[in-house]
Amino acid sequence: MRVNNFDIAKTLGSGQTFVWMNLDDLWIRFAEPFLVLQVVNNEIKIIKGKEKDVIETLGLNDNIELINHEINKDEFISKAIEFGKGIRVVKDGVWVSTLSFLLSIQSNIPLIKSRVLKLAIKFGKKVSFLNNEIFLIPTPYQINILKISKKDFGFRYKFIKSAVLEFRKRHPQINNIKGVGDKVRECILLYGDHQLQRFPIDIWIKRAIKMFYPKMYDNDVIKMRERMTKYFGDYAGYAQLYLYHYIRNL
């Protein structure tokens, strides 16, 4: 499968998803859908999984040229777009993204990945691939809430329990989950459900706004998010991801 303007390392290393591992020249998604990819230049070879799942999960149907044109409104975002060339907004699924970002609270990317992997090993389904045992992110029904310990997940264990109970309902509401505040909700909706108008604001994005868009800055995060969303429009989520990737690597 040939894809232009796509960089898998930037996409999967940009802090929007924590359910991929890199094994030699393979990229393995340890969640449903289980995917194993080999990417060379613009060619994606699917070792495990379905093409439609690869396209949806990695945002490969997004019209990236149109998106970049629409959000390219000033010199700062222009630099961020160029620096982040090849990044796509993923669609991890709401459940996977909820677990991931609940485990991301007050943390950094390596720690988040280790916690997500720990949860998969503790409760997830085991699959075998090339003599390796891989554990997938568990469903809400595979997690035994009595075995989620503070020792393993710190104060975040309460958030996981709350998420499990909510997602076992017929119509789960992420706003009802402990630990889901404004930033986590926006991350889930952008990176889990691919709602591209969303604009999560964390400490890095605050820093970017203060540095590049001082007139937009506000101590009230909701007001600041509304301003940035209005400014960048329907694809504000891409602008957010470009700025996040850019400011973290300055």
DSSP character string of 179-197 = T--HHHHHHIIIIIT--TT
Given a cut of 90, is residue 42 above it in pLDDT?
Answer: no
Domain count, the chain: 1
Q: For residue 123, is it within any domain? A: no
Q: For residue 239, is it within any domain? A: yes
What is the per-residue pLDDT across 12-30, written as a single tens digit (0 to 9) for each? 999 999 999 998 889 999 9
Q: Is 121 helix (H, G, I), strand (E, B) or coil?
A: helix
Q: How many other C-beta atoms are found inside a 10 Å radius of the C-beta of residue 158?
A: 15
Q: Region 196-212: what's the mean pLDDT?
A: 97
Question: Chain-wide mean pLDDT for the chain?
Answer: 95
Q: Does the bond joining 33 to the residue before it have cis omega, within 30 degrees of 0?
A: yes
**pTM score of the predicted model:** 0.95
Given a cut of 90, is residue 202 above it in pLDDT?
Answer: yes
Q: For residue 56, is it within any domain? A: no
pLDDT at 107 (0 to 100): 83
Given a cut of 90, is residue 60 above it in pLDDT?
Answer: yes
pLDDT at 235 (0 to 100): 98
Q: For residue 117, is it within any domain? A: no
pLDDT at 128 (0 to 100): 87
Task: Give the pair of three-digit tokens for residue 125.
Answer: 């389904």
Q: For residue 146, is it within any domain? A: no
Given a cut of 90, is residue 138 above it in pLDDT?
Answer: yes
pLDDT at 250 (0 to 100): 86
CATH code (residue 76): 1.10.1670.10
Q: For residue 78, is it within any domain? A: yes
| CA gap 18, 113 in Å, rounded | 5
Q: For residue 144, is it within any domain? A: no
| CA gap 158, 246 in Å, rounded | 33
Q: For residue 236, is it within any domain? A: yes
Write out the residue range of the structural domain in which residue 239 sits: 62-86+194-250
pLDDT at 105 (0 to 100): 87
